[in-house]
Amino acid sequence: MKGGVVVWLCAALLLAQDAVAKGPAASAAGDESSGWVLRREGSSSYACKCYPGDSCWPNHAKWRKLNATVGGNLKVNIPPGAPCYNSFEGPLGEVNTYDEAECDRVTSNWHNEQFQIELPAASLWTYFTNDTCRPTTNPSDTCTLGYYPVLAIIAKTAGHIQAGINFARENNLRLVVRNTGHDFLGRSVGWGALVINTHNFQDIKFTGQHRSACSYRGSAVTVGAGVQAFEVLTQANALSPPKIMVTGECATVGVAGGLVQGGGHGPLTNFYGFLADTALQFKVITADGVLRTANAKTNPELFWALRGGGPAAFGVIVEATYKTFDDKLSSGVHLDIDTSHTTNATLFWEAVRIFHGYSTHFVDNGLYVYYELGTTGQNLHVHPFVGIGKTPAELQAVLQPMWDDFAELGITYTTSSANYSTFYDLFNAMFETEMAGNSALTGGWSIGRRDVEDSHPAIMDAFQTIVGAGSFMIGHMWSAGHGLPRSEWGSSAVNPRFRTVVDKLITVVPLAGNAPLADKAAAQDKLTNVVDAALRNAAPNGCAYINEADPYEPNWQHAFWGTNYPALLRIRQKYDPNGVFYAVSTPGTEKWEQIETGTRLCRKL
Ligand SMILES: Cc1cc2nc3c(=O)[nH]c(=O)nc-3n(C[C@H](O)[C@H](O)[C@H](O)COP(=O)(O)OP(=O)(O)OC[C@H]3O[C@@H](n4cnc5c(N)ncnc54)[C@H](O)[C@@H]3O)c2cc1C
Ligand SMILES: *[C@@H]1O[C@H](CO)[C@@H](O)[C@H](O)[C@H]1NC(C)=O
Ligand SMILES: *[C@@H]1O[C@H](CO)[C@@H](O)[C@H](O)[C@H]1NC(C)=O
Ligand SMILES: *[C@@H]1O[C@H](CO)[C@@H](O)[C@H](O)[C@H]1NC(C)=O
Ligand SMILES: *[C@@H]1O[C@H](CO)[C@@H](O)[C@H](O)[C@H]1NC(C)=O
């Protein structure tokens, strides 16, 4: 296409406002014939989605018809550990499941991320599956569905996704979109749900010169909904010259599902902002089942909302197009301080204070810093400091003030340094492989530049409170406002406060998903009111990140989206007025609750 044609096309598209067909009228009043199930809990009344056993649950003929529409890719979901049990007692009946070889395979792969990712509806963090039916050596134990979904569409085409959305909407079913299952907040599982699994959308297409979004003319890549970071980065690295794109620090997270809809931060964030900031276009299916293009000119509001406005809130992404960039030589440094260096707690926390006090200095010099604090009690594990475009000498120059301060206080540590001809090589060599199959309640908060400058002692007190409470933290130092021009800060829906954040923390409260309910309530209370409260109080200029947060973050609208929330709420009401989609604490879910011990999803009347 020649330039003139492109300009004309853009002008024409500009005239096409966000247009959305009206869905079926809301039947919020909730009579069973309309598919709503009325329930009471405490003193409240609820209109709930339709579940197995309810009279509105679709009959066999309807499911058969759906199965035909999705090319036979509808599967009854059986929990992954079921082959280790004699039988599985699911909502659709009891089936014999024992299979020794399969059980061995599941058991030995349980902590392998890719194994869990490729299952229809497993969750890498098991807390929100209710930790039911884990692999066992006792086959006579009970295997139930817990909070795993009931059925899954293993979608292969956009038509399959449309069929799933339409079926869930028409029958008022709980719908869960599931890509890799990395979600920390339980958003890729759901009791009694129908899943749309997007893992098979694996197309990757590079272009040297992107053309359709009007203003940007650089290199780009279009990825299917199921593409994971390592796939696209490996292919991008094979190009000449090697290219990179913004991804998370974790190679197995998807790049077109939850990551971009939450924002998506990573080692390149200092240069290009969030993954969402680099998005050029989405193909997305909205709650009415319509496949839409969303970019700066077509459906611009939807485009904006999909860029950090919250996962599974505005539609199902089928494919996404992102900017790509030239890769650069890079260097990295590891740092460990633990009880092998000092058992003196005062000295250890002095080391943490020194390290963390330089967070603004690190990001101002373009460093990305990934660290863990308190995973084994008294330990700091920086893995690694990353200098993209920096030689080892340049990286060490940025770190030198920290080394000097350590030396002055007699702090010893272990460190190593490495350099690579590309960031891609560093990414593969220096970042550690992460594990699936563990259970924990996770939360998080981020720290603003002003918090570090004005009240660093309070931040250190908060860190000690958290580690002292038996929790630990994963920190990510970057600045999403460092390289991205100010004029582009508003092009994503992420909380505007993120542009001045210098450290984004995940907090972890380890707990089995099948722990007694009282223990779960106590852990949730500790996460919200002790661990995260300590950070919120110490860092009033920070905010929370929807993908790495307490699902029950207080005042979540403000914490996750700040001044962007009212616009997101309006867009949600326009594209999904009846709540076909649901993910906890996303725009427009104020009236929705999972009642009856986290099972039935209902709208409060
Ligand atoms: C080990 C690990 C490391 C991580 N590192 C980072 C990091 O460096 N940076 C960062 O920003 N985040 C990071 N995260 C958090 C990550 O952003 C979230 O877990 C994210 O939700 C993963 O998205 P997914 O699509 O891969 O996973 P899923 O669990 O499959 O989906 C997550 C959410 O997105 C929705 N969703 C998925 N696909 C679609 C789609 N096509 N259309 C609409 N909705 C969809 C799901 O319904 C769900 O609500 C990390 C998580 C883990 C477990
Ligand atoms: C859907 O159809 C396929 C192919 O006929 C079949 O194998 C599968 O069991 C069906 N799914 C359900 C839930 O019946
Ligand atoms: C989930 O686990 C809790 C215990 O933590 C249990 O009381 C509850 O019945 C379980 N629910 C389901 C649906 O498995
Ligand atoms: C621990 O370290 C602190 C700070 O350096 C020092 O003041 C204190 O004397 C040390 N305590 C012991 C028991 O060595
Ligand atoms: C690493 O650095 C050394 C010198 O410091 C240099 O000779 C070498 O080429 C570098 N390697 C890469 C892969 O950049």
pLDDT digits (tens, 9 = 90+) for 387-415: 999 999 999 999 999 999 999 999 999 99
Cα of 76 vs centre of ligand 2, distance in Å, is 8
Pocket test of ligand 5: the residue of 417, 419, 427 to mutate, having most ligand atoms within 8 Å of its CB, is 419
CATH 3.30.465.10 for domain 204-326: yes
- Relative to the alpha carbon of 387, which ligand is closest? 5
What does the alpha-carbon distance between residue 392 and residue 222 come to, in Å, rounded to a whole number? 34
Give the atom of ligand 5 at the shortest distance from the alpha carbon of 420.
Answer: 13
- What's 125's DSSP letter? B
CB 392 less than 6 A from any atom of ligand 5: yes
Q: How far is the CA of 64 from the centre of ligand 2 (A)?
A: 8
Q: At what angle do helices 60-69 and 158-171 cross, to 10 degrees?
A: 160
Instruction: State the amino acid at position 541 in one-letter form.
Output: N
Query: What pLDDT is attached to residue 22?
Result: 34
Amino acid sitting at position 485: P
CA–CA gap between residue 305 and residue 197 (Å, rounded): 22
Q: How do the domains of the chain map onto residue ranges? A: 4-199+595-604, 204-326, 330-563
List, for residues 193-214, the tens digit of each pLDDT value.
999 999 999 999 999 988 875 6
Ligand 1 center to 547 CA (angstroms)? 7
* Buried-state track 344-378, b at ≥16 Cβ within 10 A, e below 16: eeeebbbbbbbbbbbbbbbbebbbbbbbbbbeeeb
For ligand 1, the distance from its centroid to the CA atom of residue 294, given in whole angstroms, is 20
From the CB of residue 404, how many other CB atoms can be counted at a distance below 10 Å?
10
Q: Which ligand is nearest to the CA of 79?
A: 3
What's the CA-to-centroid distance between 155 and ligand 3, angstroms?
29
pLDDT at 91: 87
Quote the distance between the C-alpha of residue 431 and its chain's center: 18
Phi, psi of 349 (to 5 degrees): -70, -25
First CA to last CA distance, the chain:
53
Specify the CATH class of 4-199+595-604 in words: alpha beta
Domain 330-563 top-level CATH class = alpha beta
Ligand 3: lining residues by beta carbon, under 6 Å: 130, 132, 144, 146, 191, 514-515, 517, 520, 597, 599
CA distances from 518 to 57, 470, 528 (A): 32, 18, 15
| Number of residues that this document lists for the chain | 605
User: For residue 33, what pLDDT is reported?
Assistant: 58
Q: What is the DSSP letter of 192?
A: T
| Residue type at position 134 | R
Identify the segments of the chain with pLDDT beneath 50. 1-30
